[in-house]
Structure 1
């Protein structure tokens, strides 16, 4: 196992975990409850961490995370092609069903 990401908060860590799993990279979240210990332990030790399960997936995982960090911030909404739920345009995965939104976002731009 290798640590691939340290997040600023639990929501960001969960997004990265979901993106990795969507890319078929098994990963695990650590320190999800450590922020309650802030003050007793160094704050850098309380950040949520995402670790890839297989060392061979480390480089590919870093590429997935790099793409996530470089993605432009989009405004507006997009409808999930899987369940039809409305999502913020900057989401890559549907908040309701976890389906990919890249295709829906692309189709919405073509229509506009």
Structure 2
């Protein structure tokens, strides 16, 4: 088991976890409740952390993180084809149900 990523907040950590799950990389989220300890512990120890379960997945997982971090922020919204939830346009996965938004992005690029 290896630490892959320290997120700035729980939402970001959950997005990373979902991206890894969609790539069939087993991972766990740690420090989900540590935010309440800020002040008692250093704030850097309270960041949510994503750990991969199998060391062999490290290279593939890092490439997913690199792609996530290099994705530009796009303004506007898209709607999930499954649950119809509104998502920021740069999201790859629906924040509500976790469904991939690739089809929606492809349709937007065709117009």
Give yes or no for TM over 0.5.
yes
Aligned to 1:64: 64
> Unmatched 5+ residue regions in structure 2?
none
1:33-79 Cα deviation digits (max 9, x unpaired):
01111111121111110000001111111110110010011112223
In the alignment, the residues of structure 1 paired with residue 42 and residue 84 of structure 2 have an alpha-carbon distance, to the nearest angstrom, of 43
Aligned to 2:109: 109
* RMSD of equivalent CA atoms: 1.3
The TM-score normalised by the length of structure 1 is 0.90
Aligned to 2:53: 53
Offset of residue 95 of structure 1: 2.3
> Unmatched 5+ residue regions in structure 1?
none
The TM-score normalised by the length of structure 2 is 0.91
Point out 4+ residue stretches in structure 1 off by more than 6 angstroms: none
Q: How many pairs were matched up?
A: 111
